[in-house]
Structure 1
Amino acid sequence: MDPGTPPVGANRLEFRLLGAFEVLSCGRPIVLGSRAMRRLMALLTLNANQVVSVDRIIKVLWDGEPPATVRTILQGYVSRLRKLIVGAAGDVGDVAIITRSPGYLLRIDPGRIDLHRARELAKKAALLTGRSRAVALRAALELWRGHTLADMDDLPALRAIAMSIEELRLSLVEDRIAAELAEGPRTGLVTELDELVAAHPLRERLTDQLMMALHHTGRRADALRRYHALRERLAEELGVDPSPQLQLTYQRILQDEATVVAPETAEPASTDSNEPAVVQPVAGHTQVVPAQLPPRIGGFVGRDEEFIVLDSLRPSRRDEGGSTIAVVSGEAGLGKSALAVNWAHRVSNGPDSEYPDGQLFASLRAVDPCDPPVSPADVLRQFLIGLGLTSEQIPTGLTERTALYRSITAKRRMLVLLDDAVDHLQVSPLLPASPSCTVVITSRRMLDGLLITNGARLIRLGPLSAAQAGELIKRLAVGVEPTASDLDRLTELCGNLPLALRIAAARMTGDPELSIGDLIDELADERRRLGALRAGDPQISVRGALELTYRRLRSDAARLFRLIGVHPGVELSRSVLAAMSGSAFAQVAEQLHVLESVHLISSREHGRFGSHDLVRLYARELATDELDDAERLAAETAMVDFYLAVAERGRDLIRSTPGSPGPYAPGFELPETTSLDQAVGWFDREWNNLMHAARTAVRRQRHEAAWRIAWGAAPYVLFRHLLDESTELFDQGLASARTSGDRFGECLMLRCRVNVALYRSAKSEEALEHAVEALAIAEELGKLEILAPAVSSVFTSQANLGRYEDARQGGERALSLYQQLGDLPGQAMALNNLAMIDQFCGRVERAYERCLEVLALYRRFHDPGHEAVVLNNLSELAAELGDWSAAENFARQARSVAVSCGASVQEAKALVHLGDVYHHLGDQFSAKFRWEQALILLQGSSSPVRAEIDERLARLTTDSTLPVLDGEAAAAAIPSPQTEQASKASRDPV
């Protein structure tokens, strides 16, 4: 079958990516449903016959914050797409969407996908010459109906893939023009090339071809002007000279040679213009078995999983149609070359070698500090000489060399190792066509083009494990015997990066006076760490390795990397980078893709990004050295403004409080946060960054921003019981408000201190002192919306200290103030806390009735977080009244509501109450299980509920001599609420 023609059968079902995505049945588009369903189908088609994980699908389709029910939504999409596709496929059954862990797979004849057919035509063209080559390339290009995935540009991941496929199209256009130039002068090519060069002004091959076309049509002066225009632009924008090939074309035109043919277009004469030229074996060529691998890398450890992937490429272990190419990609210093070389030696040596015809090796010099990258033509010359040809037998053109190289290796079993590749364009001519050959490529880039056009396997290398890093140090640091703790600390400071570990080992071995303790002290100082990780040769250093990658970035990506160095956090979102850079989300997404492709950053969950510790230190050095004071200040200002704005919006979603400052509008785009789940999730992810932002605000003397960030985070702190974790935030906020003389901010920060103190300890004099001080400021300010919560703070503090009469009067005043304001949440809060006073005073039935009123209020204005609080209070009160059935019912309701809104602390408290019920019923096993579940939920929290659970579990262990307690004994085993005032610390003052 012609590779340009889709297969017959199954109603001629065809999947089209090269343009707006569509699926055709009998030539008519199938309606695929929503935009998300179309995008899911496109993603599965791009990865045809490969499993796409659910996590990756979510990351691609829901760029940013996916909904809480995203996996259920995805299952629905897949189910509907199955019905549509299977219905269109009919009975043939070669198209299906299959569930396969960890995701889904589109099983399909690749010939039904236009992108696959374009690739096959490109492969066919690579083996042809003359007019036949141009015809095959035209056929491939005709499959494009427009820009790849033209309707999906707003998703960064799909846009990045589309850009790679468009790069393939442009390469095919260049190849087709080269083939047509070889046929002779054509005026039409000049017009086409003019348009292409205007669209791609820095693409040197197009300018080279335009210069040749102009020269062939007698426009020598125009050709020379084109060269000078590009030379000036390259110097101005990139600081580089034109490529050697372009300079050679310029010299030939300048000398007015009769025939100017670039090496890539030079082709042998064909005896029959209708048949492709076949490269014949070279006369006098003696087969040679090359052995070009560099020496093994000493001290190599680990990488077992990567070896397994590489082993899958070996001919004896490869599935039919499996890939013959692997790309080992990762950041500087990870040992990519060491992995590839050591594996190559392992599989090439010995009598059982699967590559008896030899190994070819080339360093492509993508990041060589002294020399430019090697051209494919030069590498092919090296390879052909290694295969036994003389210089005279090697043709001059890249096309001819590629064809000859593939002819010689066609039936050989060889291993080709290409180290430090620039991009897929540099590598493509060096790939043997024979499936009996295996190719391993290393690069700091991911080489997406090879993954798409050649189906290469990607091995993304990461740091060594802690154990492997320690083993590497012990192997290399001869004579050094570190303790286990010193070894752990040293590998941690080196970030488990092989290059850093090797340098550290070399320094200790080469300097007997340098102890491991001294080296640890030197590395522990972040300002000195990168400088310390260098060998005697200045080119061997972690900073130098990173420098080579950074200096080759395009200007916008380099600027974003410097701004990452301004951000003090470990992980950060695209949204904050967009704010700091003053760029649109789409622009930042593209720049992040560039940084990720060279492994200066890596993507994490929820659209976040992070870097290796040493890479982050390098970015911070750049931010200090290459950004001026104004740029750093602008970036820090935007960062603080971003976290302040989102925190205040999140605050209102968790708990809207009258009397709060108006929402902060920073003047740039913010991430979508419209629900309680999204707000809590954002705070969960950004808590550390929020702390950094508050510290930055203080350092920059932005005192209002400092206390407003703290106020924005206050409801979240109580929602998660981050009592110890928030001390710095609120202390800092209070100090900032006082420093700037901001009485309003001081009042709010004092109230935050009250709440934290109340949650931490029931009998808190500190809480009452803060509450009284806050009330005095509120009376001074004279606004009801500020006064009401201040009064409430005082009466809650008094109640927890047992001053019930004073507290009751304050509670009634607070309720009256909230009624005047028409503030229903405030009224609910006051009623709940009055119920707490009733409970403390032994009026349990009255407390129970008040809490039922509060529950009705919270359900009325739909506040699930506080509804869970009141349901837990009702469970406790029902237990005090001896109604264990009601106690269990309220606890189960509390747990359900808490789970629905992500209130993990309230879920834990509900589990505690359920455990109490089971213990009362004599079921110690179930009680213990519930309490242990609650403890797990509270991991990482400083909530006092943890101490209550520990006490219950300890008491249960003491009583474990009794296998099962009857109801009366079980009730006695747990102190009743009336006699356990200390446990009231876990009762939430709402």
Structure 2
Amino acid sequence: MAEIGAGARVELLGPVRLLDGDRAVAIGGPGVRGLLALLALRAGKVVALEEIIDALWGHDPPATARTIVHGNVSQLRRMLRDMPDGPVAQILTSPPGYRLSIDLERIDAHRARALLEHAALEPPKRAAVLLAEALALWQGPALSGVPDSVRAPELEDLRLAVHGARVDADLRLRRHNELIVELSPIVRADPLAERTAGQLMRALYHAGRRGDALELYRTVSRATLRVLGVEPGSELRGLHERVLNDDLGLREVTGPQRAEPGPAPLQLPAALPALAGRDEELAWLDGLAGTAGSTVAVVSGTAGVGKSALVVWWAHRAGRFFPDGVLFASLRGFDAREAPLAPADLLTQFLLGLGVASSEVPERLHERVALYRSLIAGRRMLVLLDDARTVEQVRPLLPPGSRSMTVVTSRSRLEGLAVSNAARVRVLGTLAPEAAVRVIEELAGPGDFDLNHALARLCGYLPLALRIAGARLSSSPQWTRKDLVDELGNERTRLAALQVDGTDGTDSGVRAAFDVSLRGLSPDLARPLRWLGALPVESVGPQLMAAVARIPVGPARRALRALATHNLLAETARDVFAPHDLVRLYLRELAESELDSDERSAGLGRAVSYYQAASDTARRRMLRIVDSLDFTGSRPADELPPLRTFDEAQRWFAAEWPNLLAVLDAAYAAGRYSDVWRLARVAHTYRVVHPLSDDWNRLVDLGLAAAEAAGEVLGQCWMLISRCAIALTFELPQGCLADAERALDLASELGDKRLVTSANIHLGSALSLLSHHDEAIERLREAVAETERTGDLELRGQALANCAETEKRAGRVQEAIAHQLGSLEIDRELGDDSYAVVSLNNLAELHLRAGDRAAAERYTREGVELATARQLELQEGVLRATLARILRAGGSVGAAREQYALAVRLCEWTNPGRVSDLRTEAAELD
């Protein structure tokens, strides 16, 4: 294994610790250590914030749980960042939670697992060394010093697996006397640990103490009968019988062993010359092969992902695990040319391979099953069942109680085998970019780096598509990589470019592989799949699927989950389903050929209607609404996602934003202009709360163009006000005044007094942005007075806040404080946290200008806590910059520098235009 250099390391196998090289770093109490443990246990994967809270506090978290976690994350980030050898590890924000990015070798639990997997491939002497190194990583009970609610029972399972494998290696090395000394107290303490008892029986037997081995079995048998009411398991009973018969050879120990010379079936087809990017899956199969007893593994994945290639390649190198041979059969479950292989025919093939004469093969299926199971009962064999279609096709071929391992590949997950036969299921994904490029280069030779990566990306990193592309390049020298990239770059011709015409006129390319998968679906599954092809979205949930396909949400959810089990979709998050890129193109072709243009148009209309209702419901949980658009009654609540709280609404918008923009683009292209500006306006609220300049501008520009194309004055007015809001948020004066004046003219033309007030508020703020403070204040105070007369709290809060900001710019501090306090009171009354953080920042700046640093810091820290809890990154960046200035004014240079660094990091993502100014301010501290 590779040596670990300096920098961050994490220890979980004992007291949870963060180390810098060999030096322990003081990170704080159980909560921080628990957070570190949760992230390290799943390093490289996203751990949801809700999951962290549940793990740290169980079912009774404090009201400030989110804030505590955010603070602890910030603390750990700072410690990782400040290590002298640089940030070899970092905690990344990845909605809906956090992800620890670190080399797994730097986490002791992952290193122990890697040593275990590596040892399985080594001869006994080297394996014993590696496994001893793995065991030495345990420094006491795992996860010490964290809250009791943080549990990882898999670490104890890992320790037992490492210890058991090390003992197996020592048995093969004939270290019997040492093992007797080591294992005897373990078995005395826990006579139910049958694997360890079996190992001790072997050691006693080979040390010449056969009587002690038999007495040990009697002790274990009495314990299992007394405690569990059953005899020991079949493995231990079989071992006892061999000791009784005095026929336990030295080679008969648990674990991998070389096959003895002699006839054994070896039915494997040829393997690929090389297999790129499947190290984790190979290690998983090695780990299953190294366990005692019968094992069933299912390797599942979409068409063309390389399931058969993986298991055949692995089987060729795993022969040492299976000294009694390998059986292989293609079940033809998804074969376009032949019917699936019946279990009776497959059993005939296997029985002949096991040496049964053809005349002695039983006629009846159940007799063939019985004979097959009898023949392999005492053997250590590998049975590969490739391309299974259903659980029923496989189940008769699974021998209960055997020492053999069965590996099944299928486009379906065959989850029934996990229920009935404790099968381990592994869903095979596409390749990583580097591995995908290696597949192309294996066939076509080295090529331009950028073109190779572009080619791999256009193939969706799908092994079948990659091999077709590589084969085209190698067999047709006139085609360059640039030519092929150009052809695949056109989505309309990509699947045709990945077609393979056989000599019999059939296609064995990507489209043909997907065709076979579709043909096996029931109509209840095929119909939703066609509707998905008619949508421009990247992913789909049950509610959207139900709306477009005009079915209830429950059946839509069941259909999507069934399609995921067939690996035509992937469930990328809870109730979020997405097709592979090439499957998406295939589904689009399918929809265009099987749904007429009116049906596709109607489906798009239903999608727009769904997003209008869901977006409007979500925005009302996040912010006060001042426009008159209302879609909340257009769909029943049970046909929408759960959008009851700010956080649920925020998560929904974040997850659906790419889909929402794609639906808007498609609706605009289809001429649905009235729908487009209305959806753009209701979605605009999310960007008010979470401002990202490019996304926000794109949304509003599209909405304004649609309103103009529709000739709808109301739409133009609201979209101009939306564009004004962008300019005010990012302090971009150019064009802001003209937009506000035009919006006011249109509002007056409509005669809508509330709309006129809203336009006036934005016009006043635009004037302030251009330093026309007196005129701005006069207009904004008129808006305040108007909202006082009408009792309109939503607009009154907005008018007060904008007036306070303008007075601050004009140097009228006390008037600004009074207006801002009034605005904050309304923010809190209406529950508008996103406006409240702005009010708190403005109050902090005003009190700093008035010379009251204590009040300024109090408002700022309250705002930071609220912005962090609500994940309002832009507002948090503004608040941290304000806090830095307050701390600098008080002489706390180090603390100010830290806040500037946090502000810069946030603004790099949310408001890049402010980064340069913040860095200049921070540099002045030096």
Compute the TM-score of the two structures, normalised by the length of structure 1. 0.67
From 504, 510, 516, the equivalent of 1:542 is 510
Alignment pair present for 1:920 and 2:889: yes
Alignment of 1:232-311 (within 5 A): 289-311=264-286
2:278 and 2:785 map into 1 onto residues whose CA distance is 69
Alpha-carbon offset, residue 426 of structure 1? 0.9
SS of match in other structure, 2:328: strand
**Aligned residue for 2:364?**
397
Alignment pair present for 1:884 and 2:849: no
**Aligned residue for 2:657?**
687
Give a deviation string over 1:173-221, Cα, whole Å, max 9, x none.
xxxxxxxxxxxxxxxxxxxxxxxxxxxxxxxxxxxxxxxxxxxxxxxxx
Structure 1: runs of 5 or more not aligned = 1-51, 60-64, 78-96, 108-286, 961-990
More divergent stretch after superposition (847-856 vs 334-343): 847-856
2:924 and 2:376 map into 1 onto residues whose CA distance is 77
Q: Residue 585 and residue 803 in structure 1: after superposition, are their counterparts in 2 closer, same or farther (change >3 A)?
A: same
1:106 and 1:810 map into 2 onto residues whose CA distance is 71
From 859, 873, 894, the equivalent of 2:863 is 894
**Aligned residue for 1:422?**
389
From 613, 632, 637, the equivalent of 1:645 is 613
Alpha-carbon offset, residue 592 of structure 1? 1.1
1:104 and 1:289 map into 2 onto residues whose CA distance is 38
1:929 and 1:99 map into 2 onto residues whose CA distance is 31
Q: Residue 721 and residue 58 in structure 1: after superposition, are their counterparts in 2 closer, same or farther (change >3 A)?
A: closer
Alignment of 1:173-184 (within 5 A): none
2:413 and 2:905 map into 1 onto residues whose CA distance is 40
Partner amino acid, structure 2, of 1:403: A
Alignment pair present for 1:447 and 2:414: yes
**Aligned residue for 2:458?**
493
Partner amino acid, structure 1, of 2:298: V
Q: Residue 423 and residue 936 in structure 1: after superposition, are their counterparts in 2 closer, same or farther (change >3 A)?
A: farther
**Aligned residue for 2:151?**
100
1:476 and 1:784 map into 2 onto residues whose CA distance is 70
SS of match in other structure, 1:502: helix
Q: Residue 345 and residue 905 in structure 1: after superposition, are their counterparts in 2 closer, same or farther (change >3 A)?
A: same
1:70 and 1:708 map into 2 onto residues whose CA distance is 39
CA contact (8 A) 2:907 2:914 kept: no
Q: Residue 599 and residue 826 in structure 1: after superposition, are their counterparts in 2 closer, same or farther (change >3 A)?
A: same
Q: Residue 908 and residue 434 in structure 1: after superposition, are their counterparts in 2 closer, same or farther (change >3 A)?
A: same
1:536 and 1:358 map into 2 onto residues whose CA distance is 36
1:106 and 1:297 map into 2 onto residues whose CA distance is 35
CA contact (8 A) 1:778 1:790 kept: yes
Alignment of 1:614-653 (within 5 A): 614-653=582-621
2:269 and 2:522 map into 1 onto residues whose CA distance is 32
Q: Residue 712 and residue 560 in structure 1: after superposition, are their counterparts in 2 closer, same or farther (change >3 A)?
A: same
2:806 and 2:43 map into 1 onto residues whose CA distance is 51
Alignment pair present for 1:931 and 2:897: no
1:520 and 1:658 map into 2 onto residues whose CA distance is 49
Question: Percent identity at matched positions?
Answer: 36
SS of match in other structure, 2:429: coil
Alignment of 1:513-528 (within 5 A): 513-528=478-493
Alignment of 1:722-761 (within 5 A): 722-761=692-731
Alpha-carbon offset, residue 71 of structure 1? 5.8
Partner amino acid, structure 2, of 1:842: G
Alpha-carbon offset, residue 335 of structure 1? 0.8
SS of match in other structure, 2:559: helix
Partner amino acid, structure 2, of 1:431: L
Alignment of 1:158-169 (within 5 A): none
From 314, 317, 320, the equivalent of 1:343 is 314
Partner amino acid, structure 2, of 1:298: P
**Aligned residue for 2:246?**
none
Q: Residue 73 and residue 396 in structure 1: after superposition, are their counterparts in 2 closer, same or farther (change >3 A)?
A: farther
From 667, 670, 678, the equivalent of 2:640 is 670
Partner amino acid, structure 1, of 2:914: E
Partner amino acid, structure 2, of 1:756: I
Alignment of 1:5-44 (within 5 A): none
SS of match in other structure, 1:704: helix
1:524 and 1:658 map into 2 onto residues whose CA distance is 44
1:880 and 1:585 map into 2 onto residues whose CA distance is 55
Alpha-carbon offset, residue 901 of structure 1? 3.1
The count of aligned residue pairs is 692
Give a deviation string over 1:440-486, Cα, whole Å, max 9, x none.
11111111111111111111111111111111211221xx4311111
Partner amino acid, structure 2, of 1:333: G
From 673, 676, 686, the equivalent of 1:706 is 676
2:363 and 2:792 map into 1 onto residues whose CA distance is 85
Alpha-carbon offset, residue 289 of structure 1? 2.0
1:384 and 1:862 map into 2 onto residues whose CA distance is 73
CA contact (8 A) 1:411 1:436 kept: yes
Q: Residue 434 and residue 608 in structure 1: after superposition, are their counterparts in 2 closer, same or farther (change >3 A)?
A: same
**Aligned residue for 2:137?**
none
Partner amino acid, structure 2, of 1:292: Q
2:599 and 2:43 map into 1 onto residues whose CA distance is 40
Alignment pair present for 1:905 and 2:874: yes
Give a deviation string over 1:381-403, Cα, whole Å, max 9, x none.
11111111122211111111100
From 838, 846, 849, the equivalent of 2:815 is 846
CA contact (8 A) 1:357 1:414 kept: yes
CA contact (8 A) 1:708 1:733 kept: yes
More divergent stretch after superposition (733-742 vs 951-960): 951-960
Alpha-carbon offset, residue 658 of structure 1? 3.7
**Aligned residue for 1:510?**
475
From 798, 810, 830, the equivalent of 2:799 is 830
CA contact (8 A) 1:409 1:434 kept: no
Alpha-carbon offset, residue 531 of structure 1? 0.8
Alignment pair present for 1:953 and 2:919: yes
Structure 2: runs of 5 or more not aligned = 1-40, 62-147, 159-261
1:528 and 1:344 map into 2 onto residues whose CA distance is 37
2:585 and 2:908 map into 1 onto residues whose CA distance is 31
Q: Residue 910 and residue 760 in structure 1: after superposition, are their counterparts in 2 closer, same or farther (change >3 A)?
A: closer
From 742, 751, 758, the equivalent of 1:773 is 742
Give a deviation string over 1:741-800, Cα, whole Å, max 9, x none.
221111111111111122233533x11111111111111222222111011111111111
More divergent stretch after superposition (569-578 vs 657-666): 657-666
1:849 and 1:809 map into 2 onto residues whose CA distance is 16
Compute the TM-score of the two structures, normalised by the length of structure 2. 0.71
2:151 and 2:428 map into 1 onto residues whose CA distance is 25
Q: Residue 954 and residue 816 in structure 1: after superposition, are their counterparts in 2 closer, same or farther (change >3 A)?
A: closer
Alignment pair present for 1:482 and 2:447: yes
**Aligned residue for 2:99?**
none
2:346 and 2:604 map into 1 onto residues whose CA distance is 47
SS of match in other structure, 1:727: helix
From 396, 401, 406, the equivalent of 2:373 is 406
Alpha-carbon offset, residue 638 of structure 1? 0.8
Alpha-carbon offset, residue 509 of structure 1? 0.5
Partner amino acid, structure 2, of 1:736: A
1:354 and 1:858 map into 2 onto residues whose CA distance is 68
SS of match in other structure, 2:336: coil
**Aligned residue for 1:612?**
580
More divergent stretch after superposition (667-676 vs 745-754): 667-676
Give a deviation string over 1:809-839, Cα, whole Å, max 9, x none.
2112211221222112321221222222222
Alignment of 1:61-76 (within 5 A): 75-76=59-60
CA contact (8 A) 2:332 2:341 kept: yes
CA contact (8 A) 1:463 1:496 kept: yes
Q: Residue 704 and residue 665 in structure 1: after superposition, are their counterparts in 2 closer, same or farther (change >3 A)?
A: farther
CA contact (8 A) 1:730 1:749 kept: yes
